[in-house]
Chain A
Amino acid sequence: MIPDLLFLLFSAGILAGGALVAVGKNPMVGILGMLLAFLNASGLFILLGAEFLGLLIIMVYVGAVAVMFLFVLMTIDIDFAALREGWANYLPVGVLTVGGLATLLILAVQGQNFNLGTPVAPELLGAEAPQNIVALGQVLFTQYAVPFQVAGLLLLVAMVGAIGLTHRPRTDIKRQDVGQQVNRKRTEAMVLTNPKTGQGAFPDHWVGKGVKKGQK
């Protein structure tokens, strides 16, 4: 009884959040809708016995993803209303396509029992079952050890990629470069000249090397 009510509550929250993302005019409203959807999804995951993932989704999505979206949204200066111009033109096609997709998917899953059969690992459920995080750790570090490492590598690559994409060397500021200073040669740092009387310190063959013609 209580779990069923909670399921309905969380479902309503997820769908309301998703609707805010999909049709919200202001992207800030969209981000808040995304937060609503993910917080309710966290509750749903805990209800479905995935306590660790439920908490993880709060940490990753509410803690990192939403903040990252807000950060990007605040650093760029965009007239979002102009981007939405003409969205009503796509409304009929969108509603038709998406409505058809939803109807098909929902019809496909209605009244099925999916031949669930016997549980694959019954010792992982029930009163004697280990805590969700213990059970998850037991498979994650043994059976799925290699994919786990690959996932870590993927995050590393993503981090390097994000930094490498957005990094730009600033040319409008002066910065000390020790290597450049040490590697400077005598020949490019100074010029020895022996000007004749009345010629001045800037002879004609220097023109172009920081000396204007006729400079004395």
Chain B
Amino acid sequence: MLHITLAHVLTLSSLLLSLGVAGMVLNRRNIIAILMCLELVLLAVSINLIGTAHFRADLGGQVFSFFILTVAAAELAIGLAIVTLFFRNRGTINIDAADMMKG
């Protein structure tokens, strides 16, 4: 039977981060799916910090994870507002439609 160590927690967070990046690549056109994958990546970072905080007995990691939660919520509110605005102006949420600034 395995005994969980920091390496196991970090492996879990690496896998979750890779899943998040994979989701961004596969759902390349769907902004909402990309935002969801971004949440997964931030969750991976939080797991990393909380695992380290636990095995190092340092509360700093938990505090930092707390701030990551705050930033994630703010980022999501702004991101979804932009998605709504984009859909209102273009009638789609396809990222390929956001090409007004191409040179």
Contact = CB atoms under 8 A, between A and B. Distances in A.
Interface of A: 1, 3-4, 7, 11, 14-15, 18-19, 21-23, 27, 30-31, 34, 37-38, 41, 44-45, 48-50, 52-53, 56-57, 60-61, 64-65, 68-69, 72-73, 75-76, 78, 80, 83-84, 87, 90-91, 93-95, 97-99, 101-102, 105-106, 109-114, 116-117, 119-122, 124-125, 132, 135-136, 139-140, 144, 147, 151, 154-155, 157-159, 161-163, 165-166
Given A90-B26, A102-B18, A151-B67, 18 more contacts: A7-B8, A18-B15, A34-B39, A37-B43, A49-B54, A50-B50, A56-B66, A64-B73, A69-B32, A76-B87, A78-B92, A78-B93, A94-B26, A97-B21, A102-B14, A112-B6, A116-B55, A121-B59
A111 B36 contact: no
Contacts, number: 236
A111 B26 contact: no
A154 B74 CA distance: 7
27 contacts: A4-B4, A18-B19, A19-B19, A23-B22, A27-B32, A30-B36, A37-B16, A65-B73, A65-B76, A72-B80, A75-B84, A76-B93, A80-B30, A90-B26, A93-B25, A98-B25, A102-B14, A106-B14, A112-B6, A135-B59, A147-B67, A154-B71, A158-B73, A163-B81, A165-B81, A165-B84, A166-B85
B63 A76 contact: no
Contacts of A102: 14-15, 18
Given A121-B59, A136-B63, A158-B74, A41 B47 contact: yes
A105 B28 CA distance: 23
Contacts of A84: 27, 29-30
A87 B27 CA distance: 7
A125 B54 CA distance: 9
Given A76-B84, A161-B78, A165-B81, A98 B47 contact: no
